[in-house]
Amino acid sequence: MGQNRIELVEVGPRDGFQNLKEYISMEDKLHYIDGLIGAGVKHIQITSFVSPKAIPQMKDARELAGHCAAMYPDVDLFSLVPNLYGAKAAWECGLKKTSYVISLSESHNEANINRTREQSLEELGRIREELPDLTILSDIATAFACPFEGIMMLDGLLELMGKIYGLGVREFVLCDTIGMAHPAQVREYVRAAMKEFPDCRFQVHIHDTRNMGIVNTLAAIECGVQGVQSTLGGLGGCPFAPGASGNTSTEDLVYMLNRMGYETGIEFERLLALAKEEHSAIPGAYSGHHINIGAQACGMNV
């Protein structure tokens, strides 16, 4: 990949929507997905295949996924699954890639998904065995820091990644789940991971709890990760911090990267308009995050 290429990976339709109390209709979800694709976004996590009782927002997953897979054959659409059952559903809907989350922190894994890390690894093994052609995007939650265990150690991260690699996974997402990482740590961990697993692809997913989403994401980009995850408007975020600003915002990233000369393939103004539309349409969702207005509002002709 060239020095100035980066894949912007939009996870808003899953990570952003999943915690919203009010159900977003499938039509509305499709509207935003369509808008993202129209603005040039090429990688989208469109839904998750989970129990509708657990996460009612995602009850339309099958229909949504089937629809998108048919409508947008050239877009890299993927989902998130917690188990083999979800993975099979994703596969049946025509999705060829899915995220699967394991926390680096044992306590966080158990608190978050009620399973030990060992159980999570076993389930991943079953998915790999039954669906060998389904590409796994391995989300390592709390890769940098954990609300219970504090700063996570690098050797533990590499060790866990080694086990996942052993199951045939070749793509990792290092997640700053509570937004506590800082650029020096991001650089250290990303470089070490990329060096240890040179045949793997890497992304980061940085939460913005301490307003460091942009700076940490850029740190990772400059270390050579292939992709970065974010959400339109920064929707979503740290589950342990009510009112905290959420995810890194896709439009902020696109603004910066386009201005820096990166080829994102995304039209900033179209994306910003969509972000503002979403911001108005989903009241209460943005309690912590403020969508920064773009260059036009400052009257700048750039």
The binding site for a copy of itself (CB under 8 A) comprises: 145-148, 150-151, 178-180, 182-185, 208-212, 214-215, 218, 238, 240-241, 243-245, 249, 252, 255-256, 259-261, 288-290, 292-295, 297-302
Distance CA 88, CA 272 (A): 35
Smallest gap from Cβ 243 to a copy of itself, in A, equals 7
Query: CA 155 to CA 158: how far, in whole Å?
Result: 5
Q: How far is CA 68 from the centre of its chain?
A: 18
Residue the block writes with tokens 């929507």: 17
Rounded to 5 degrees, φ, ψ at 101 are: -100, 130
CB neighbours of residue 132 within 10 Å: 8
> CA-CA-CA-CA torsion for 218, 182, 250, 112, nearest 10 degrees?
140
- Shortest CB 54 distance to a copy of itself, Å: 23
6 vs 46, beta carbon nearer a copy of itself = 6
- How many secondary structure helices (H) and strands (E) does the chain include? 10, 10
- Find the shortest distance in angstroms from Cβ 100 to a copy of itself: 24
Other C-beta atoms closer than 10 Å to the C-beta of 180 total 21
- Active site positions, annotated: 238
Instruction: State the nearest-atom distance from the C-beta of 20 to a copy of itself, in Å.
Output: 19
